[in-house]
Amino acid sequence: MLFDLQEQAVTEKIFKKFDTIIIGAGAAGITTAITLEKFGKSVALIEGGGLEYSEKSQNIYRGNVKGDPYFDLDVTRLRYLGGSTNHWGGWCRPFEKIDFHRNYLGEQYEWPIKFEEIDQYKNEACSILEIEPNFEFKSSDDHNVKPIKFQFSPPVRFNEKYLSKLKSSKLISVFINSNLTKVSGSNRNIHSVEISNYKEKRLTLMAKNFVFALGGIENSRFLLWIDRDLPGIFFDEKLPIGKYWMEHPHFTLGRALIDNQKVRHNYYSLTGEAQNKLNILNCGLRIERFDAKGLTKALIQDLMCIAPKLGKKFVELTRKNHYLCGATFRAAWEQSPDKFNAVRLGKTIDRFGIPKVDLNWKKNKIDRKTIKKSVFEFNEWLVKIDGGRIKLDEWMLTEEDYPIDDELAGHHHMGGTRMHKSKILGVVDPNCKVFGSENLYIAGSSIFTTAGHNNPTLPIVQFALRLANHLAI
């Protein structure tokens, strides 16, 4: 059933106590709701926006960014049914086993669950995103570099895919234009939430369990708001809420000449063993081949000026075959969980009286070390197989600042309500329940302990499936 709080006269008298109330109807919230329905559970799925984009909803996402250049916070995400799946590019890749074995970097990098506990939901999540669950190539090369696969969703827009099913569901009640304005309860239990439309019409709903699936920034924002106004009522105090926020830096590293017979794939990373040995995080290297032959010739001419003998060799290669091409050399890599990168409450408030966000985001030394070491290993492999040469941009060869006219990041909002075995280093336990709470859970990429280099949508769906299965017990 669908209820538009902005257009319909809705009274709480018609609603019984739900099994679960989910705040936020993006990939995490909708996946959790649909899965709980399969177990026969009643769900209220609450979305602050409508069925389509609107300025009044999107303006709630405005905030401030401090630190490195980043996107406007009301541009980097979407606030209506389906969330940011309404503009995502469809890139899919799961976490790797090494992402759950970062103990060599310190306690703050340690997940409290095993890789297999999330990997078991990969096939089901891939089915939801309409992709094949195949992400690796078979390789006999014993070098530190390995080719990797991404799968590309159509992309699935959760609004379009599930709207009809949500409308016809007898167990899921969807509330749109319904903004969370109040949480009530006692003794570490939430009893009810109050939601409001944009005309200040309010509705109170009750449930046994509550899930915040508001997104990789808003989950932190709303927990910080509750912790500020009602400290210790619903969960433990002094949790690191908002801290250890992460993104995936995305930058062009330079240009490359590639022998397509020897470098057959577009995406590469280092093996887990290499990452461990180098004391770095995960990094995805991307080779985007030129379509224009003139750009390849220009790269060879540049090489002739620097290394004439090598340049002549590449000239001969182009005469003998058509396998040599130029490419843009890019990367998207994992950022370390740093407590100073954080979501905080700002001084301005939204139209419902809730503080807007101040986001602090800055890349640190291990982020720079990860990209430099990864590129060095890739270049060493390229030379070893005589597969081409890389011409790095100046900022990669020095300690210059990152360029400001590049991709910057992936619009991937992770951490802030991270999972950990310790409430000193985490906000949720292995079951995604907020430390000290009896019935408040978090869904989405804000629970990520570390970020991997993978795009987050597939893991978001995997973790949502896992959470729903836990709540259904």
Give the residue-averaged pLDDT of 308-320. Answer: 56
Within 8 A by CB and 6+ apart from 30, the residues are 45, 82, 158, 162, 166
pLDDT digits (tens, 9 = 90+) for 66-80: 999 999 999 999 999
Q: Is the pLDDT of residue 317 over 90?
A: no
Which amino acid makes up residue 320? K
The H or E element that residue 332 is part of is strand 324-333
Ramachandran assignment for 125, one of left (phi > 0), alpha (psi -120 to 50 degrees), beta (any other): alpha
DSSP-H helix ranges across 68-190: 115-119, 122-129, 158-168
Within 8 A by CB and 6+ apart from 36, the residues are 19, 20, 43, 171, 468, 471, 472
Q: What is the pLDDT of residue 471?
A: 98
Whole-number average pLDDT of the chain: 93
DSSP string, 36-57: HHHTT--EEEE-SS-SS--HHH
Pair of tokens at residue 430:
């292995």
| Sign of the dihedral defined by the CA atoms of residues 334, 70, 31, 109, in that order | positive
End-to-end CA distance of the chain: 24
pLDDT digits (tens, 9 = 90+) for 199-243: 999 999 999 999 999 999 999 999 999 999 999 999 999 999 999
Within 8 A by CB and 6+ apart from 54, the residues are 80
Between 294 and 151, residue with greater pLDDT: 151
